[in-house]
Chains A and B, each alone.
Chain A
Amino acid sequence: MTLRRLALLPGVLALSACEGGFQSPLAPAGEQAASIHSLFWLMMAVCGFMYLLVLAGLGIGLLRARRRRSETGEPSINPADRGLTRGLVAWAALIVVGLAVLITGSFLVERTIAGARARDALEVRVTGHQWWWRIQYRDPATGAWIETANELHLPLGQTTRIALGSSDVIHSFWVPNIAQKLDLIPGRINRVDLTPTRAGWFRGQCAEFCGVQHAHMALDVKVDTPEEFARWLASQRRPATPPADPAAARGLQLVTRGQCAMCHAIRGTQAVGRAGPDLTHFGGRRSVAAGTLTMSRGAVQGWITQPQAVKPGTMMPPVALSPADADAVSRYLMDLK
């Protein structure tokens, strides 16, 4: 048995040493994730202790029994086991105590998460689509909804209440560093609160299997200082600025007159499609196609002309463009900051 325990050791070490990345509940950057993280370590402590007890009991028991071993011995039938019975009662009591601790801890953390709801929370709507995220902010000034996609900005230290919905199948909204996941279900609105405590970029990913491109349904999350956030929201409120560069102007024409406008909206232009992501400030985002490619002109061009090669099964149809036109469209889109 010692061998087996040794075999587990590297795993345990790796676990305690491993650092969570930008998509991990082990590196909390939000109040909700932090309280769950402390619950996690409470559970690890209690469960780890119980596991060591089981292994110790098994190890000691086998070592002692080995000495008693004899091949010829008759089986012993119903021996007096008073000591073992007492041990069983003690063990059961210990389990009950351990469970009581864990159930209480779990209950308290659940309350904390529920209690984080501030009345003046920023209101955001997130809608799941196969396979991208529609994001809408309630403008604090006018009460209108400001739409963007696949990139969520959150103000540091403030609670954002996100209303989750789905336009097609069940998805799950999960930004593990900041808060626990919650499903997006057609016909329902679920609400999750996010209170980020650390600025920077994080990543979220759809957590409920939602079809062929479930793997590529990621969400970039940026936690800004409140000032940065206000500035960012103001920039999102504005419609797209008309391009100055002639190549980009040609791109605008191609986008608004061609097939793009049937699915995509660019505020300030004639493109008002609703089936795909809003592209008004597309060039200012960090990634293309819901976290599939890093934003660059090459990536945009590749995505437009051959989306099925980048993300097989995506709803985005390929757009037939000459190399020059593709270049113009990507220039225009990159300029949409």
Chain B
Amino acid sequence: MSDPRTPAVELRTLHVSWADAPGIWGFLTTVDHKRIAARYILTVVLLLFLAGMLALDMRLQLAMPDMERMTPQLYNESFSLHGSTMLFLVSVPVMEAMAIWLVPLMLGQRALAFPRLAAFSYWLYLGGVLMLWVPHAFGITPDLGWFEYPPLSGPAYSPGHRADIWAQMITFTEVAALAASVNIAATVLKMRSPGMTLARIPLFVWAMFLASLMTIFALPAVMMVTSMLIADRLVSTQFFAAAAGGDPILFQHLFWWFGHPEVYIIFLPAAGFVSVIVETFSRRTLFGHAAVVLSMLAIAALAFGLWVHHMFAVGLPRLGNDFYTAASMAVALPAGVQIFCWIATLASGRPRFDTPLLWVLAFIVTFVIGGLSGIMTASAPLDQQVTDTYFVVAHFHYVLVGGAMFPLFGAFTYWYPKATGRMMSELWGKISFWLIVGGFNLGFFPMHILGLQGMPRRIYTYSEGMGWGPLNMVASIGSAIAVAGGVLFVANAAWSYFRGRAAGPNPWGGSTLEWAAPSPPPQHNFDAMPVVDSLTPLWTQKQELAVMTGLAVDRREVLVTSVVEATPEYRQKSPPPSIAPLLAAIAVTILFVGSIFTPWALVWGAVPVAIGLTLWFWPQRERSTTGPLRARNR
């Protein structure tokens, strides 16, 4: 690079190097983390709508005793599809989508560590979505809930392909989640901007890093268990058949060994959102940053030691149950510490009550109820009364909606201007906020009481004599209000996309690096790579951010830094767009769909997968140029 080039020319070259191909080809081949994340989020919004409609349908059926709107079969299909969609296709993927969008920006980078892997994750995830919802259109929906316990899901009691669809859908959408997690973890470890030591990592990035590690540890268990189930069904392995020496409880142990950490895999990113929003809107650095990080670590570790509290009614040894009672309740300590830190930050700051902060306040008020009812279900004897009742239904909706969805709505509103360049309407934001939060509490609080009045979950009808009618009616009305609020929220986002007020780079006065990029960010994110010397660079580095120069502009190049101190190590070529991730994902989808019908699909299906992967990794003849890296204060 001896020829002298003007900054304007350099910038134009940079844009060209990172640009996607135009049109549909660009759409199919892009590896831009922002475009991939946007797709994820749009898919999730669609699924939220569909699963919400299912929920509303079920609430209509339960609104009054002895209703005959739905057959029991249809009701069972509805809650199975609702639960499987929300847990496997919405909650975890949406957090990963937010991370795929945010992490490189928050780290001051131009791309993820493995851009093609991110594209592959999305396409594979889309395959899973289609695999669950397309059969629904043809009336072969899984009908055994979101944790299909054998032997009910085994070949003897579930003939046909409903349970196969469920099991294979889980196995391979979890491949997508695993790929996304590896990508995020690697990006956080090796691709932070120079100067971003471990202590200067933004809290959301910490949360996502821990959630990704948890995913990497937890998901193999569920992929294993669904594979065992499908083996039982397809090739009669009898893992879970008691009569043949198998054990149905083995399924539950493996399933919950994943299933419990999953709750925290969803909650930790939400806690990350809350920390970031609280800091920005309190106009002060977060109180107890280290305490919050340590709490997250503690939660991530504890999450693996308490799966048995989902199995207190199974009849395991009582002393074992007492151990898991103590372990489960212990989570209240780190969670309580986090709540304290957020409230303390608000109380000692100068809070501005914009919509994102309102979501955080609703989160605190709602999530703590879910946490406290969690302490109650963590007690082995009490749980043996309330488990599998509406008390538990209320509890986990308080945790998942109050604890994860409310922060997510806040985060969506908060980063919307960064992603689109426009603000969401505050007025409509507040109206949808009150509808969702009010409707949710009206809808789900009565379920605690219903559970204590003995109403089991997953029943499609009840008789008038049970006395559950009035509260069910209240619950149904509340749910309808919340769904209306959700529709309004999406409408606001769509309207603001075209008509919203222009945002500028940093409309909320945020402190982290993504606010240094233009809104919306160009494909290469930052024209020059930022260098940081604090946890809140945009607040502390009052003049313009220091930047690092020396990265090539005539090709896609990213900076790899050291794990602890984030000192620059080397420059690396970032893979260009490719069709291979899409082809590989299609091949894997065909393999898994085929395996529902014949085990041989695992054999012949491997050929197209191998072709897709070969294309993906086909070596490109291009030598890495090396040049000096320079930090520069502008």
Binding site for B on A (CB under 8 A): 1, 4, 7-8, 11, 14-15, 18, 20-21, 23-26, 33, 35-36, 39-40, 43, 47, 50-51, 54-55, 57-58, 60-62, 64-66, 68-71, 73-79, 81, 84-85, 87-88, 91-92, 95-96, 99, 102-103, 105-107, 109-110, 113-114, 130, 164, 168-170, 172, 174, 176, 180-183, 185-188, 190-191, 203, 205-215, 312-313
Question: Of all chain A residues, which has the CB nearest B322?
Answer: A107
B452 and A214: CB pair below 8 A? no
Judged by a CB distance under 8 angstroms, whether B601 is at the interface is no
Contact residue among A18, A64, A187 (Cβ-Cβ distance under 8 Å from B449) = A18
- A50 contact set on B, CB distance < 8 A: 372
**Cα–Cα, bound, A212→B162 (Å):** 14
Given A65-B351, A77-B536, A176-B454, is A110 in contact with B381 using a C-beta cutoff of 8 Å?
Answer: yes
In addition to A65-B351, A106-B379, 4 A-B residue pairs with Cβ atoms within 8 Å of each other are A24-B453, A73-B350, A106-B325, A109-B381
B285 and A313: CB pair below 8 A? no
Given A65-B348, A65-B349, A207-B389, is A190 in contact with B315 using a C-beta cutoff of 8 Å?
Answer: yes
Judged by a CB distance under 8 angstroms, whether B227 is at the interface is no
Contact residue among A74, A114, A186, A205 (Cβ-Cβ distance under 8 Å from B248) = A186
Binary contact track B277-300/A, C-beta < 8 Å → 1, others 0: 000001111011001000000000
**Cα–Cα, bound, A147→B285 (Å):** 70
**Cα–Cα, bound, A69→B350 (Å):** 5
B350 and A84: CB pair below 8 A? no
- B247 contact set on A, CB distance < 8 A: 187
**Cα–Cα, bound, A215→B330 (Å):** 35
B368 and A181: CB pair below 8 A? no
B284 and A62: CB pair below 8 A? no
Contact residue among B321, B339, B386, B449 (Cβ-Cβ distance under 8 Å from A110) = B321
**Cα–Cα, bound, A20→B342 (Å):** 38
- For this complex, into which size category does the number of interface residues on chain B fall? 35 or more
A169 and B453: CB pair below 8 A? no
Judged by a CB distance under 8 angstroms, whether B586 is at the interface is no
**Cα–Cα, bound, A133→B452 (Å):** 24
**Cα–Cα, bound, A57→B342 (Å):** 11
- B458 contact set on A, CB distance < 8 A: 209, 214-215
Q: List 10 A-B contacts (CB under 8 A).
A: A11-B445, A20-B454, A77-B540, A99-B330, A106-B325, A180-B385, A181-B387, A186-B243, A210-B152, A215-B461
Given A69-B350, A187-B243, is A33 in contact with B385 using a C-beta cutoff of 8 Å?
Answer: yes
B445 and A182: CB pair below 8 A? no
B285 and A172: CB pair below 8 A? no
Query: Could you tell me the distance in whole angstroms from the C-beta of A75 to the nearest C-beta in chain B?
Result: 5
Given A102-B379, A180-B384, A181-B385, is A24 in contact with B452 using a C-beta cutoff of 8 Å?
Answer: yes
- B459 contact set on A, CB distance < 8 A: 205, 214-215
**Cα–Cα, bound, A274→B249 (Å):** 27
Contact residue among A25, A70, A71, A109 (Cβ-Cβ distance under 8 Å from B386) = A25
B315 and A39: CB pair below 8 A? no
A75 and B509: CB pair below 8 A? yes
A1 and B361: CB pair below 8 A? yes
Query: Could you tell me the distance in whole angstroms from the C-beta of A12 to the nearest C-beta in chain B?
Result: 9
A39 and B454: CB pair below 8 A? no
B314 and A183: CB pair below 8 A? yes
Contact residue among B145, B329, B344 (Cβ-Cβ distance under 8 Å from A102) = B329
**Secondary structure call for the B interface:** helix
**Cα–Cα, bound, A65→B281 (Å):** 12
Cross-chain pair count, CB within 8 angstroms? 279
**Cα–Cα, bound, A110→B376 (Å):** 14
- A88 contact set on B, CB distance < 8 A: 288, 291, 337, 340-341, 344
Query: Could you tell me the distance in whole angstroms from the C-beta of B302 to the nearest C-beta in chain A?
Result: 13
Judged by a CB distance under 8 angstroms, whether B157 is at the interface is yes
A212 and B326: CB pair below 8 A? no
- B329 contact set on A, CB distance < 8 A: 99, 102-103
- B333 contact set on A, CB distance < 8 A: 92, 95-96, 99
A103 and B466: CB pair below 8 A? no
Judged by a CB distance under 8 angstroms, whether B446 is at the interface is yes
Query: Could you tell me the distance in whole angstroms from the C-beta of A336 to the nearest C-beta in chain B?
Result: 25
A75 and B283: CB pair below 8 A? yes
- B456 contact set on A, CB distance < 8 A: 174, 205-207, 214
Given A47-B375, A91-B340, is A18 in contact with B384 using a C-beta cutoff of 8 Å?
Answer: no
Given A88-B340, A181-B313, is A21 in contact with B467 using a C-beta cutoff of 8 Å?
Answer: yes
Query: Could you tell me the distance in whole angstroms from the C-beta of A57 to the nearest C-beta in chain B?
Result: 5
Judged by a CB distance under 8 angstroms, whether B347 is at the interface is yes
Judged by a CB distance under 8 angstroms, whether B159 is at the interface is no
Contact residue among A14, A76, A176 (Cβ-Cβ distance under 8 Å from B283) = A76
A8 and B287: CB pair below 8 A? no
Query: Could you tell me the distance in whole angstroms from the C-beta of A71 to the nearest C-beta in chain B?
Result: 8
Judged by a CB distance under 8 angstroms, whether B222 is at the interface is no
**Cα–Cα, bound, A9→B238 (Å):** 52
Contact residue among A24, A66, A75, A206 (Cβ-Cβ distance under 8 Å from B454) = A24
Contact residue among A4, A84, A110 (Cβ-Cβ distance under 8 Å from B287) = A84
Question: Of all chain B residues, which has the CB nearest A71?
Answer: B352
Interface core residue of A39, A65, A79 (most chain B CB under 10 Å):
A65
**Cα–Cα, bound, A180→B386 (Å):** 9
Query: Could you tell me the distance in whole angstroms from the C-beta of A15 to the nearest C-beta in chain B?
Result: 6
Question: Of all chain B residues, which has the CB nearest A189?
Answer: B315
Question: Of all chain A residues, which has the CB nearest B456?
Answer: A207
Judged by a CB distance under 8 angstroms, whether B629 is at the interface is no
Question: Of all chain A residues, which has the CB nearest B284?
Answer: A76
**Cα–Cα, bound, A33→B381 (Å):** 9
Interface core residue of B76, B143, B382 (most chain A CB under 10 Å):
B382
**Cα–Cα, bound, A134→B347 (Å):** 61
B318 and A110: CB pair below 8 A? yes
A23 and B385: CB pair below 8 A? no
Query: Could you tell me the distance in whole angstroms from the C-beta of A293 to the nearest C-beta in chain B?
Result: 10
B466 and A21: CB pair below 8 A? yes
- A25 contact set on B, CB distance < 8 A: 385-386, 452, 454
Question: Of all chain A residues, which has the CB nearest B314?
Answer: A183
Which 8 pairs of residues, A with B, have the shortest CB-CB distance? A187-B242, A61-B347, A180-B384, A215-B459, A190-B315, A23-B454, A106-B379, A47-B372
- B337 contact set on A, CB distance < 8 A: 88, 91-92
Question: Of all chain B residues, which has the CB nearest A202?
Answer: B454
B313 and A183: CB pair below 8 A? yes
B382 and A87: CB pair below 8 A? no
